[in-house]
C-alpha cells in the first residue's frame, strides 16, 4: 500500500534474500534487474516519480493533515460559485471512490451496484427530511436521520453482499449490477406518490445540527471536507487493522485465506457493509446540498464515473481513490465545461504526454517540428485548392484560436468532416498502439494533427458527450496501460 | 384467450431477439471467460447500420431496390461490420489483458460500452432514428389464426433466429473452427500446446458473436422501428439475464433463457404493467442467480486449486 513509509529510493524495493550491506554489481540470488524494473513500474516515469517518492517519505497521517488543511484553505483564496460547485462534486466523488475502494480495491470484489447505496443514502435522507411521507412529512433532525440512514445502508449492504458468499467474480458483478438497475427502476416506477417517480423528491430540509443550518454552498464544502477526512481516517484505520489485512488476503487468494482461518464470508459481508455505509453517508450530504433527489442521479453513468475515479487514482489505495475522484471530477465537471479551459487541458495534455514519452530530446524536437510543418503545409495546400476548406473557425477561443488559425484546416461546415475524422482518429489510435518502432513516431504526427482537428470541430463543441467519452477512455486506457492507477501499487498476480 | 396467444407470440419474437444477443455473449464468455459488457452496444451499432442502409437506398418510402435485396444487404453489412468492430475491440482492448486479473477486462468492457454509447451519440445524435418498417414490410400481412396475428417481420425474426441457431450449432459441433473453439473454451493452454492458434480462434469467436449482435440489431430495428444510442445497454442487460438464466456458455441455454425472458416480459407488460416489467425481470435474474448460479442448463464448474 502506498501509505507505508518507504526506504530511500536508491535500494531495490523488493526485498531479496540478501542480508547486511549490499555490494555493488549483480549478486547471486538477487535479481537486481527484476527489482529495479519492478520499482520502475511502480512509480510514475521521470520527475513525476521523483515527486511521488518524496511525497511518500512523509507519513500517512501528516499527509492527510496537510491535504485537509489545503482543502479547507482553498475557499479562503476565493472561489467563484461555479468553482465551489465543482469542488463540492469533486469531494463527493472522492469520498464515494474511497468507499468503493473497500469493496473493489481492498476486498477485490466487483460491486456494480455500489451507486444504489449512494442513492439509498440520498433517498433515505430525502424521505426522512421532507414533506414527502405523511400529512406533514417527516422532519427528523439531521443527527438522527443521517445515522438512521447509515444503519439502514449497512443492513442493505449485508443483504446485497449475501450473494458474494456463493458467487464470485463475474456472477457477483452481474447480480450487483442488477441490484443497481433494480434500484433505479424502483425509484422511477414504484409508488410515485411516496418515492416521487421520475420527478424525484424536492424541497429537502438542509442539514441542521443544533441551531446551525447548512444553507450555503460554502458550508457544504466544509462539511464535505470534514466528511472526506473522517472517511479517509476511518478507512486507514480499517485497512491497517486485522479486518483490512483479511480483506487483502481474500482478494489475493480466497482459498488460502480461508485455510488460514479467516472467516471469508463474514469478512466479505463486512466489506460490502462498510462500502454501503460510506456511500450512504455521502448520499445524505449530497441530497441535502442538492435540495432534491432524482432517480437519474443514481444511474449507471454515475456508477461508471465512480469507477473511473477509482481506477484512475489507483484501486487499493486510499490516497489514490481520493486523488482520482478529485482529478476526474475537476476535469469532468469543471474544465471540460468551458471551451477555453478544455482547450488548454487538451493541448496541454498532448504536450505533457509528448514530453514525458518521447526520448531523447532530439526526437521530441523533431516530432514537434514535423507537427508544426505538417499543419502549415496542409493548411497552405487546402487553402490553395479551395477557400471554403479553410474558412471555418476553431471552437477554442483566445490564444489557442490565434495559434491554430493558419495551422489547422477547418472547413466552413465542419460537423460532418469532424465526425469522419473522429472515426478515423480512433482507427489511427488503434493502429498506433499496435505498431512498434519508428513507424509509431511517423504515425504519431498525423494522429495528433487529426486529433486537434476532431477536437476543434466536434469534441469541443459537444462538451457533455466529450466528457462521457473521456470517462470511457479512462477506463480502457488505464486498464491496459497502468492497471494500478496513478497512485496504486502494482499487485503480483498468482495465476490460477 | 386471443390476448394470451398474441402476447405469447410477441414474447417469443422478443425472446428470440434476446436469445440471439445472448448467444453471442455466451460464446464470447465461453472462450474468454469474459462478460463482454460492450456486446449490447454492438447490437446498437448493428441497428444503426441497418438504418443507414435504408437511408442509402432511398429511405423507407422511396426504396429503389427490391425489399428482399435490401434485407439481405442490411443483414450482411450489419453482420460483417459489427463482426469486424468486435474483432477490433478484442485485439485492441481485451487481448493485452488476457492474463491480467479477472477484474481488469471487466472494467475495460464497461469502459468500451460507455465509449461506444457516447461515440454513437456524437456521430448520430440523440434523436430516435426511425426505420419506418411498415412502409416496405407491411405489418398487417402475415398469418392470422383466429384473433392472433403473426406479421411478416415476426415470422422473419423467428425463422432467422432458428436458422442462425442451427447454423451456429453446426459450426460449433461439426467444423474444425468449432472444435478449436471448444478446445480453447475448455483449456486455453492445453489447446495452445496442441497447436491451435488461440489468437485466431478467439478473434473468430468474437467475429461470430459480434455478427450475431449486428444481425439482431437490424432485427430489432425492423421489429421495434426505433434506434437510439441507448438501446444497447438495456438490451445487453436482458441478454445477460437470458444467458445467465439458461446457463452461461451453453447455446440451448441461451435460447431457452432468451425465450423465457421475452415471454415473461411480454406477459408482465400485458397483464400487470409495463412499468414493472424491467424491475421484475431483474428480480427474476437475482433469484435465479441465488438459487441456481449455473443457470437452467449450465453445468456446475469445478474449482481448480
Residues A288-309: tens digit of each pLDDT? 999 999 999 999 899 999 999 9
Distance between CA A311 and CA B266 in Å, rounded?
A: 39
Residue A173, chain B, CB below 8 Å: the answer is yes
Residue of B nearest to A255 (CA): B305
User: How close is the nearest chain A Cα to the Cα of B120, in Å?
Assistant: 10
A337 CB neighbour count, 10 Å cutoff: 15
Reported as a single tens digit per residue, the pLDDT across B87-128 is 999 988 898 888 877 778 888 999 999 999 999 999 998 889
Query: Between the CA of residue A183 and those of A160, A170, A201, what are the distances in Å?
Result: 12, 20, 15
**Among B34, B35, B118, beta carbon nearest to A472:** B118
Q: Which chain B residues are closer than 8 Å to A257 by Cβ?
A: none
Test A304 with B114 for CB contact under 8 angstroms.
yes
Confirm if B171 and B208 have CB atoms less than 8 A apart.
Answer: yes
Pairing of strands B142-145, B148-151: antiparallel
**Among A162, A307, A459, beta carbon nearest to B110:** A307
Confirm if A81 and A253 have CB atoms less than 8 A apart.
Answer: no
| 3-state SS assignment for residue B130 | strand
Residue with cell 488460502: A256
B207 CB neighbour count, 10 Å cutoff: 20
Could you state, in order of their start, the residue ranges of all structural domains in chain A?
60-337, 341-459
More confident residue, A274 or A215: A274
Residue A423, chain B, CB below 8 Å: the answer is yes
Supply the pLDDT for residue B301. Answer: 59
Confirm if B202 and B192 have CB atoms less than 8 A apart.
Answer: no
Reported as a single tens digit per residue, the pLDDT across A348-387 is 888 888 887 787 888 889 889 998 899 888 888 888 888 7
Distance between CA A251 and CA A492 in Å, rounded?
A: 12
Q: Which residues pair with B145 in a beta bridge?
A: B148
Supply the pLDDT for residue A26. Answer: 53
B196 CB neighbour count, 10 Å cutoff: 18
| 3-state SS assignment for residue A489 | coil
Reported as a single tens digit per residue, the pLDDT across B208-221 is 999 999 999 999 99
Distance between CA A264 and CA A9 in Å, rounded?
A: 36
Q: Is the pLDDT of residue A3 over 50?
A: no
Q: Which chain B residues are closer than 8 Å to A108 by Cβ?
A: 103
Q: Which of residues 10-69 of B touch A (CB under 8 A)?
A: 29, 33-35
User: How close is the nearest chain B Cα to the Cα of A415, in Å?
Assistant: 9
Test A185 with B115 for CB contact under 8 angstroms.
no
Q: What mean pLDDT comes out for the span A254-266? A: 90
Task: State what percent of residues in chain A have pLDDT above 70.
Answer: 89
0.95 exceeded by the pTM?
A: no
Identify the CA nearest to A402 among candidates A478, A343, A459.
A343
Q: Which chain A residues are closer than 8 Å to B290 by Cβ?
A: 162-163, 166, 175
Test B122 with A175 for CB contact under 8 angstroms.
no
A129's enclosing H/E stretch is strand A129-130
Identify the CA nearest to A476 among candidates A441, A430, A434.
A430
Confirm if B23 and B209 have CB atoms less than 8 A apart.
Answer: yes
Residue A139, chain B, CB below 8 Å: the answer is no
Reported as a single tens digit per residue, the pLDDT across B49-74 is 999 999 898 887 888 888 889 999 99
Residue A307, chain B, CB below 8 Å: the answer is yes
**What DSSP character marks residue A386?**
-
Distance between CA A231 and CA A98 in Å, rounded?
A: 8
> In this predicted complex, what is the ipTM?
0.86
Supply the pLDDT for residue A63. Answer: 87
With 0-12 CB in 10 A as exposed, 13-18 as middle and 19+ as buried, what is A472? Answer: buried
Confirm if B55 and B273 have CB atoms less than 8 A apart.
Answer: no
**Among B29, B233, B240, beta carbon nearest to A300:** B233
Q: Which of residues 177-206 of B touch A (CB under 8 A)?
A: none
Reported as a single tens digit per residue, the pLDDT across B258-291 is 998 898 888 888 888 777 777 777 777 778 777 8
Reported as a single tens digit per residue, the pLDDT across A128-153 is 988 877 777 788 888 889 999 999 99
Amino acid at each position: 500500500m502506498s501509505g507505508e513509509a518507504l526506504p530511500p529510493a536508491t535500494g531495490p524495493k523488493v526485498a531479496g534474500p540478501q542480508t547486511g550491506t549490499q555490494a555493488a554489481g549483480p549478486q547471486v540470488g538477487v535479481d537486481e534487474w527484476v527489482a529495479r524494473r519492478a520499482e520502475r513500474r511502480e512509480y510514475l516515469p521521470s520527475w513525476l516519480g521523483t515527486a511521488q517518492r518524496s511525497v511518500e517519505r512523509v507519513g500517512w497521517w501528516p499527509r492527510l493533515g496537510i491535504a485537509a488543511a489545503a482543502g479547507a484553505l482553498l475557499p479562503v483564496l476565493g472561489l467563484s460559485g461555479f468553482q465551489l460547485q465543482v469542488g463540492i462534486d469533486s469531494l463527493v466523488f472522492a469520498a464515494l471512490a474511497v468507499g468503493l475502494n473497500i469493496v473493489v480495491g481492498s476486498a477485490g470484489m466487483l460491486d456494480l451496484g455500489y451507486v444504489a447505496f449512494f442513492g439509498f443514502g440520498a433517498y433515505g435522507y430525502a424521505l426522512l427530511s421532507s414533506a414527502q411521507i405523511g400529512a406533514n412529512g417527516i422532519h427528523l433532525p439531521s443527527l438522527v436521520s443521517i445515522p438512521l440512514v447509515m444503519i439502514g445502508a449497512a443492513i442493505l449492504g449485508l443483504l446485497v453482499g449475501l450473494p458474494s458468499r456463493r458467487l464470485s467474480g463475474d456472477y457477483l458483478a452481474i447480480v450487483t449490477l442488477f441490484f443497481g438497475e433494480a434500484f433505479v427502476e424502483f425509484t422511477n416506477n414504484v409508488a410515485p406518490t411516496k418515492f416521487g417517480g421520475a420527478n424525484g423528491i424536492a424541497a429537502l430540509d438542509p442539514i441542521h445540527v443544533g441551531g446551525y443550518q447548512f444553507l450555503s454552498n460554502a458550508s457544504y464544502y466544509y462539511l464535505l471536507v470534514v466528511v472526506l477526512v473522517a472517511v479517509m481516517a476511518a478507512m486507514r484505520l480499517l485497512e491497517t487493522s486485522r479486518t483490512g489485512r483479511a480483506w487483502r488476503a481474500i482478494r489475493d487468494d480466497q482459498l488460502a485465506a480461508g485455510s488460514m482461518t479467516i472467516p471469508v464470508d463474514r469478512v466479505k459481508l463486512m466489506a460490502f457493509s462498510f462500502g454501503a455505509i460510506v456511500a450512504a453517508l455521502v448520499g445524505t450530504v449530497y441530497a441535502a446540498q442538492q435540495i432534491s433527489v432524482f432517480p437519474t442521479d443514481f444511474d449507471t453513468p454515475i456508477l461508471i464515473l465512480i469507477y473511473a475515479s477509482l481506477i484512475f487514482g489507483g484501486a487499493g489505495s486510499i490516497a489514490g481513490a481520493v486523488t482520482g475522484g478529485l482529478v476526474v471530477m475537476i476535469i469532468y465537471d469543471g474544465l471540460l465545461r468551458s471551451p477555453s479551459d478544455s482547450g488548454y487541458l487538451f493541448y496541454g495534455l498532448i504536450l505533457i504526454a509528448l514530453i514525458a514519452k518521447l526520448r531523447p530530446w532530439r526526437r521530441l524536437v523533431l516530432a514537434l517540428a514535423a507537427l508544426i510543418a505538417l499543419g502549415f503545409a496542409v493548411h497552405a495546400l487546402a487553402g490553395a485548392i479551395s477557400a471554403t476548406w479553410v474558412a471555418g473557425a476553431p471552437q477554442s477561443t483566445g490564444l489557442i484560436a490565434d495559434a491554430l488559425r493558419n495551422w489547422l484546416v477547418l472547413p466552413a461546415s465542419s460537423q460532418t468532416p469532424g465526425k469522419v475524422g473522429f472515426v478515423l482518429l480512433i482507427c489511427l489510435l488503434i493502429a498506433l498502439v499496435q505498431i512498434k518502432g519508428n513507424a509509431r513516431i511517423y504515425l504519431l504526427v498525423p494522429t495528433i494533427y487529426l486529433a486537434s482537428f476532431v477536437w476543434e470541430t466536434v469534441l469541443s463543441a459537444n462538451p457533455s458527450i466529450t466528457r462521457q467519452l473521456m470517462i470511457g477512455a479512462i477506463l480502457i486506457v488505464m486498464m491496459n496501460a497502468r492497471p494500478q492507477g496513478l497512485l496504486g501499487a502494482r499487485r503480483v498476480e498468482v495465476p490460477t | 384467450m386471443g390476448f394470451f396467444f398474441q402476447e405469447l407470440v410477441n414474447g417469443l419474437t422478443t425472446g428470440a431477439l434476446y436469445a440471439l444477443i445472448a448467444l453471442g455473449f455466451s460464446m464470447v464468455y465461453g472462450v474468454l471467460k469474459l462478460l463482454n459488457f460492450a456486446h449490447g452496444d454492438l447490437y446498437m451499432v448493428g441497428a444503426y447500420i441497418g438504418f443507414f442502409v435504408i437511408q442509402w437506398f432511398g429511405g423507407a418510402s422511396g426504396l429503389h431496390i427490391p425489399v428482399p435485396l435490401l434485407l439481405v444487404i442490411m443483414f450482411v453489412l450489419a453482420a460483417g461490420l459489427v463482426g469486424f468492430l468486435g474483432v477490433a475491440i478484442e485485439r485492441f482492448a481485451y487481448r493485452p489483458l488476457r492474463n491480467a486479473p479477472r477484474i481488469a477486462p471487466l472494467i475495460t468492457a464497461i469502459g468500451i460500452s460507455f465509449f461506444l454509447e457516447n461515440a454513437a451519440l456524437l456521430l448520430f445524435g440523440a434523436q430516435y432514428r426511425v426505420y419506418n418498417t411498415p412502409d416496405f414490410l407491411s405489418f398487417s400481412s402475415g398469418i392470422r389464426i383466429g384473433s392472433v396475428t403473426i406479421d411478416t417481420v415476426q415470422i422473419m425474426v423467428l425463422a432467422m433466429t432458428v436458422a442462425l441457431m442451427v447454423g451456429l450449432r453446426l459450426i460449433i459441433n461439426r467444423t474444425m473452427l468449432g472444435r478449436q473453439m471448444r478446445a480453447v473454451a475448455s483449456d486455453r493452454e492445453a489447446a495452445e500446446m496442441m497447436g491451435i492458434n488461440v489468437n485466431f480462434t478467439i478473434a473468430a469467436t468474437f467475429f461470430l458473436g459480434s455478427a450475431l449482435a449486428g444481425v439482431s440489431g437490424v432485427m430489432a430495428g425492423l421489429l421495434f422501428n426505433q434506434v437510439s444510442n441507448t438501446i444497447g445497454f438495456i438490451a445487453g442487460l436482458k441478454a445477460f439475464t437470458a444467458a445467465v438464466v439458461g446457463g452461461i456458455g451453453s447455446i440451448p441455454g441461451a435460447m431457452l433463457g432468451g425465450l423465457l425472458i421475452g415471454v415473461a416480459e411480454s406477459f408482465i407488460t400485458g397483464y400487470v404493467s409495463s412499468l414493472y416489467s424491467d424491475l421484475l425481470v431483474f428480480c427474476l435474474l437475482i433469484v435465479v442467480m441465488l438459487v441456481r448460479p449455473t443457470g437452467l442448463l449450465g453445468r456446475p464448474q469445478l474449482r481448480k486449486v
